[in-house]
Amino acid sequence: MPHAFDALADPRRRAMLEALAVQERSVGELAELLALRQPATSKHLAVLRDAGLVADRHEGRRRIYRLVPEPLVEVDDWLTPFREAWSRRFDALAAHLDAMEDP
Amino acid sequence: MPHAFDALADPRRRAMLEALAVQERSVGELAELLALRQPATSKHLAVLRDAGLVADRHEGRRRIYRLVPEPLVEVDDWLTPFREAWSRRFDALAAHLDAMEDP
DNA sequence: CACATCCATTCCGAAAGTGGAATGTATTGG
DNA sequence: CCAATACATTCCACTTTCGGAATGGATGTG
């Protein structure tokens, strides 16, 4: 089972997640949205499912995929130690701008 | 030039960024920290550099790498539309727990 | 000026990711 | 029951990625 970061490396898979964040969708709808063929779409969805980022249910002969946001929370948590690093940057920039305004 | 998400897919590169978030380090120090050989370390650093996640400067015959957090801000921004999705989940969970406490 | 150190780069071979075509399976419609 | 629809899966070629070994360049040291 791969990590969420592995699944997020592909831009089409990120686009799938963006689409699923709006509403759940079938494989065919996702394929049309991303201009992908059906097998490629199913394979990308399998990667997302293995990473726990999507889940699916059956509805007639269609398969409806929905977003599972929990792994993205882990990504968000991973970013936490870095937020301090870039807030330091913004603080430095703000101080610099203040110094420019103050003659 | 690859996207930040491509660089983040590898766990060792993520560990490098974590180490560089604490302080800047030379290639040799990173190699020892991650138990990688020097060429492998340099290659991973090249990926991070191409993604704009690190920068380097020369200090004698050593090369010192430092974190460049800006691309991580983009990752953070990408997560924004999803935060609503998982806050909805937490709200639903909280409501559920409230209902359990309330007989 | 040798010689060692620190690192980037190149050249392999192995492994993994990706798309297309074909095939298999379950469900629906006639 | 038979054909069509909606997917998943398998097989195959192609490309990319990755590590190790070897090499080369630049900077110190004696």
Does one domain contain both B84 and B51? no
List of protein residues whose beta carbon is under 7 A from strand D: A 26-29, 31, 38-39, 41-43, 45-46, 56, 61-63; B 2, 6, 9-10, 12, 36-37, 39-40, 43-44, 47, 58, 60-61
Q: Which of A1-10, A14-23, A50-59, A83-92 has the lowest mean pLDDT?
A: A83-92
The residues, any chain, with a CB within 8 Å of residue A35's CB and separated by 6 or more, are none
Residue B23 identity:
Q
pLDDT of A61? 94
Does one domain contain both B53 and B93? no
Q: What is the CATH number of the domain that holds A60?
A: 1.10.10.10
Does one domain contain both B20 and B64? yes
Neighboring chain B residues of A21 at a CB cutoff of 8 Å? 81-82, 85
Does one domain contain both B94 and B45? no
Chain position carrying tokens 């990752």: B75
H/E stretch holding B57: strand B54-59
Do B81 and A21 form a contact (C-beta atoms < 8 A)? yes
Structural domain boundaries, residue A42: 4-101
Does one domain contain both B49 and B76? no
Q: Is the pLDDT of residue A103 over 60?
A: no
Counted domains in chain A:
1
pLDDT 10s digits, B15-63? 999 999 999 999 999 999 999 999 999 999 999 999 999 999 999 999 9
Does one domain contain both B75 and B54? no
pLDDT of A101? 65
Give A 3-62 residues with CB within 8 A of chain B.
3, 5-6, 8-9, 11, 14, 17-18, 21
The residues, any chain, with a CB within 8 Å of residue B92's CB and separated by 6 or more, are none
Does one domain contain both B6 and B52? yes
Does one domain contain both B36 and B51? yes
* Inter-chain CB proximity A9 and B9 less than 8 Å: yes
DSSP state of B52: T
pLDDT of A102? 57
